[in-house]
Amino acid sequence: MSYYPRRKLVMLPGPTNVPERVSAAMMKAIINHRGDEFRPLLKSIMAKLQHVLETTSDVVVLSSSGTGAVETAVKNIVRKGDDVVVPVFGEFSTRLAEQAEEEGANVIRVNEEMGRAPTPDMIEDAARRAKSLKAILLVYNDTSPGTTYRWLKEVSDIAVANGGFIVADAISIVGGDELPQDKWGVDMVVGASQKCLAAPPGVAFVSVSERLKRYIEKNPPITSYFNIMKYLDYGSRGETPFTPALPLFFAFDEALSMVLEEGMQRRIARHSITASAFYDALSEAGLHPFVEQQFRSNVVIAVRHLEGVDDITFRRIVEDKFGVILAGGFGKLKGKIFRIGNMGEVNSYHVLATLNAIGGALRLMGKIVDSEKMLMTAENRLKTLERNNPTISGHM
């Protein structure tokens, strides 16, 4: 039973907190998705996503979870017998490899232990071993260990040099860290609404480069709902091939407006500053990050549990007593780590409230942590946030 009387702070690696103006957008009246009112809405979403991704590529907007967008990528690119390279360093990169295998691909996995990631040299070696590389499928940010792959541009170059496409599953990082699609030469970016873009779950998207679009057009996939060319055909006249989740489209459009109002560079800087505040403050309290420093995500903070701390009990106290929702580990990391979503509208309030909850829960469990030092460390890091943009340092 929860004793926390107010709205809780959702500090998960998605879904995350949704601003009130985004939630309010869902209250708009239902419109005809084949009519004149819907067309500007869809075109607005697509244009804003192009801005966020820094791309001129076509964008397909789906009424689905992020997993649906990943399936869209795999089904439209991978064919039976294709050689596909997948760097595997977490649960979601494992799932991506499995999805490619389900399509009959010859998947060359480049494995690395969780908390690290394969080097570009390892991936290049795998690409060269492929008889005829079809694609490199890369999870840009794997939320299960809290790892970001920092060499996406280098891997993109490797894919092109070996005659393959490069697909970036960026579901958990779009809107929270840099991803200039055209500059980095990425053929497809896969994203979703409910994480760093701070909208409700249920909308996903893929962006498609010209060379990839030409391939799909000549090699149509065996799928109806996730057929990219079908979406591009309908999208050219401002429609979707199937009934869209209209309230979610309204909300997503509003969320993207908020992203662009802030500006991508300021938004990325804000996520970087709040991430530093979390990492430094938790380390001061003896709570060590799970991921090695060069691979750490700015949008998912993964933390090792102190010895003797039961994960379920800890997170239940954090939620019931302090009103903050955290995520545990799963798979091999279940019970060993907890994870903080540093996503979307995250600011000083979110950081300090979450740290206070963590410190308070540990004290209630009999663990001695210096909460005061932890909060002071965070405050010092967050001063940079206030100097960069004083309008976003308070509770949104």
* Averaged confidence pLDDT in the chain: 95
> What are the pLDDT digits (tens) for 296-328?
999 999 999 999 999 999 999 999 999 999 999
> What are the pLDDT digits (tens) for 210-268?
999 999 999 999 999 999 999 999 999 999 999 999 999 999 999 999 999 999 999 99
> What are the pLDDT digits (tens) for 47-99?
999 999 999 999 999 999 999 999 999 999 999 999 999 999 999 999 999 99
Domain 31-261, second-level architecture: 3-Layer(aba) Sandwich (3.40)
Question: Rg of the chain's alpha carbons, rounded to an integer?
Answer: 21
> What are the pLDDT digits (tens) for 7-56?
899 999 999 999 999 999 999 999 999 999 999 999 999 999 999 999 99
> What are the pLDDT digits (tens) for 271-295?
999 999 999 999 999 999 999 999 9
For 389, what's the count of Cα atoms within 13 Å in the CB-facing half-sphere?
A: 21
Domain 9-16+263-392, second-level architecture: Alpha-Beta Complex (3.90)
Q: What is the DSSP string of 1-51?
A: -----SPPEE-SSSS----HHHHHHTTSPP--TTSTTHHHHHHHHHHHHHH
Residue 189's pLDDT is 98
* Domain boundaries, given as residue ranges, for the chain: 9-16+263-392, 31-261
> What are the pLDDT digits (tens) for 322-362?
999 999 998 899 999 999 999 999 999 999 999 999 999 99
> What are the pLDDT digits (tens) for 148-191?
999 999 999 999 999 999 999 999 999 999 999 999 999 999 99
% residues pLDDT > 70 (the chain): 96
CA torsion sign, 384 to 389 to 391 to 396?
negative
